Amino acid sequence: MMIIEELNPSRTISIPEEVGTHPQIIAELSFGECLSENDWLAPLLSGKSVAEFGCRAGLRAAYLSPYARQIFCTDPDAMCLQLARKTLKLNQCRNVVVVHRITEATLADALLLDTRRYGDRALPDFPSQATLLVITGPLPRSIALRVLGAGYEHLPQYHRAAVFTAPRRQHGVQ
């Protein structure tokens, strides 16, 4: 078992040893931006039912589980789903369920989509009842058009907002 300390010093996450054999996940563990995302996501998702697309090894779900009412997480990689189950068991996350597919029947107030996990793969279908969609990772025009179109199609009139953030190193800003 390995332990990761989040930016919040009172919060540590245990991860299975098998994560060490997955070089892409190891690279993500040393990337501080993902850790800081969890700190601003926690109050945003507090008390909500969350569907996480692209959960990788379940680290974000493990971190957010004390804040969210319930989390459903999935990933396009079957090995990552196994790692996520182990991570969540190590951290005793009883309100998190790892599933192969999140469907319309999955009741979620908020959706988390990590576009890095889908790349060239087709994006999953999103449950339409969610009133909050948070996208982490790059936002190609094709994904932005789909997401914004879905937002206008599904969310109640005048009760929607979009927030776009980008790392400061992009767009020539330092």
pLDDT tens track for 33-83: 455 788 888 999 999 999 999 998 999 999 999 999 999 999 999 999 999
Q: How far apart are CA 131 and CA 133, in angstroms?
A: 7
**Confidence (pTM):** 0.77
Q: How far apart are CA 113 and CA 138, in angstroms?
A: 11
Q: How far apart are CA 19 and CA 115, in angstroms?
A: 20
At 66 the pLDDT is: 95
Q: What is the mean pLDDT of the chain?
A: 78
At 100 the pLDDT is: 93
Fold classified for 2-172: Rossmann fold (3.40.50)
Mean pLDDT of 154-163: 53
Percent helix, percent strand, percent coil in the chain, to nearest 5: 35, 20, 45
User: Which two tokens mark 84?
Assistant: 């996520």
Mean pLDDT of 7-21: 73
The phi, psi pair for 163, rounded to 5°, reads -125, 125
Band (156; pLDDT cuts 50, 70, 90): low
